[in-house]
A = this chain, B = another copy of it.
Amino acid sequence: MRTYRLAVVKGDGIGPEVTEAALRGMHAAARRCGFSLDTADVDLGAERYLRTGEVLDEGTVSALRTHDAVLLGAVGDPRVPPGILERGLIVALRVAFAQSVNIRPVRLYPGVQSPIRGVTAQNCDLVVIRENTEGLYTGGGTLAHAGTPHAVAVQNSLTTVAATTDTVEFAFRLAQERRRRVTLCHKTNILMHAGQLWQEVVDQVALRYPEVEHDYVHADAMCQHLPLDPGRFDVVVTDNLFGDIISDLGATVQGGLGLAASANYNVAGSAPSMYEPVHGSAPDIAGKGWANPAAAALSAALCLAGLGEREAALCLEAATASVLAELPSLAGPGMGSDTAALGERIAARVMDVD
């Protein structure tokens, strides 16, 4: 029996709860499809940082690297200053493992109500493909004369053909299996240098996918088109910062961050990919059993797909969607079940869906 080695970073707040629930669903899908998952907990996140002062050490990076994939719950705590975990852990892992493509499906599942009028399960099924290692996330720059009236900040964005091409190729390949339309989202009329590079890469890659149409929407205009007419999009490809923003908008359209999954994907297979719900650690509801494990379970489904276990991935996604459709409310005490019970329901449903 094929066994995959999965590193599990449960993290902080609701991270452990939702990850455990998602793992139940994942193990069930593995059982159903005849493979197994060998999981190893890896201690990273705010809790570890507050305890030890360490964010990410070389030993942990090397240990993670030996796994087939990394499943991450959520990291974060209000006591940790901004940037420490975001840049020092999440972005650092994305870069260390060359996870140049971030995959964020925006899908309204049946039975879930979008906060936007007119958005339905029929017209809301797109995927945001975000470059995941570059742009403004390279973080270079200076703050000179900080704290004085002469302070001036430079913040640099760096964009290479390599990571951009990985991302755009991935988007076109995905679109070819879907509705065959790629939309570049950028702000090429203002970010002329980076914008030209993105547009050139899209035009180049498009030549190799003659059956896939492509068009362009500015990042600001996306804030109208995505909520008001999600059906016009199939695959949206974008840079790191725009992707961060519009994928959160997508999460709103699909019913909330509690339902938004993501994959940080290493296209070359040279290091593990990492799968995480888009939501944070939500310390305010940690331990209450009020967290919806759907985003974690859907991220686990992306993980199965990333491992090549497509059928298992589809089972876990379908099971999660089916349980979601039964919930009286999407989170909190009104959910009708607690996080752990939902994990069990998803696992049981994995065996039933066809």
A interface residue numbers (CB < 8 A to B):
82-83, 86-87, 91, 113, 115-118, 136-137, 139, 141-143, 146-161, 187-197, 200, 219-221, 223-224, 227-228, 241, 244-249, 251-252, 256-257
Q: Decide if B143 touches A157 in the complex (CB within 8 Å).
A: no
Closest-CB distance, A144 to chain B (whole angstroms): 9
Contact status of A246 and B228, CB under 8 A, knowing A158-B153, A192-B83: no
Q: Decide if A193 touches B141 in the complex (CB within 8 Å).
A: yes
Q: Decide if B252 touches A191 in the complex (CB within 8 Å).
A: no
- Report chain B residues within 8 Å CB of A155: 156-157, 159, 191, 193-194
A219 to B241, CA, bound (A): 10
- Report chain B residues within 8 Å CB of A113: 117
- Report chain B residues within 8 Å CB of A137: 190
- Report chain B residues within 8 Å CB of A219: 244-245
- Residue of B139, B151, B197, B241 near A153 (CB, 8 A) is B197
- Residue of B156, B195, B197, B257 near A224 (CB, 8 A) is B257
- Report chain B residues within 8 Å CB of A200: 146-147, 151
A42 to B248, CA, bound (A): 41
Closest-CB distance, A47 to chain B (whole angstroms): 18
Q: Top 5 nearest A-B pairs by Cβ distance?
A: A223-B249, A141-B193, A86-B189, A223-B248, A82-B189
- Report chain B residues within 8 Å CB of A246: 223
Q: Decide if B139 touches A192 in the complex (CB within 8 Å).
A: yes
A227 to B117, CA, bound (A): 12
Closest-CB distance, A295 to chain B (whole angstroms): 13
- Report chain B residues within 8 Å CB of A224: 248, 251-252, 256-257
Contact status of A228 and B245, CB under 8 A, knowing A153-B158, A154-B193, A193-B143: no
Contact status of A158 and B152, CB under 8 A, knowing A141-B193, A190-B91, A190-B136: yes
- Report chain B residues within 8 Å CB of A143: 192-194, 196-197
A309 to B146, CA, bound (A): 39
Contact status of A150 and B161, CB under 8 A, knowing A82-B189, A223-B252: yes
A22 to B351, CA, bound (A): 63
Tell me the nearest residue of chain B to A198, going by C-beta: B153
Q: Decide if B157 touches A157 in the complex (CB within 8 Å).
A: yes
Most chain B CB neighbours (cut-off 10 Å) among A224, A247, A251: A224
- Report chain B residues within 8 Å CB of A153: 157-159, 193-194, 196-197
- Report chain B residues within 8 Å CB of A118: 115
Closest-CB distance, A258 to chain B (whole angstroms): 10
A246 to B242, CA, bound (A): 12
- Report chain B residues within 8 Å CB of A188: 82-83
A155 to B190, CA, bound (A): 10
Closest-CB distance, A335 to chain B (whole angstroms): 18
**Inter-chain pairs besides A87-B189, A224-B251, 10 sampled, C-beta below 8 Å:** A115-B118, A116-B227, A151-B161, A153-B197, A154-B158, A154-B193, A156-B157, A219-B245, A223-B252, A228-B252
A223 to B278, CA, bound (A): 13
A-B contact pairs, 24 of them (CB 8 A): A83-B190, A113-B117, A115-B116, A116-B227, A136-B157, A136-B190, A141-B157, A141-B193, A143-B193, A143-B194, A149-B161, A150-B161, A152-B160, A152-B197, A153-B157, A154-B156, A154-B193, A190-B241, A219-B245, A220-B248, A224-B257, A228-B252, A245-B245, A249-B249
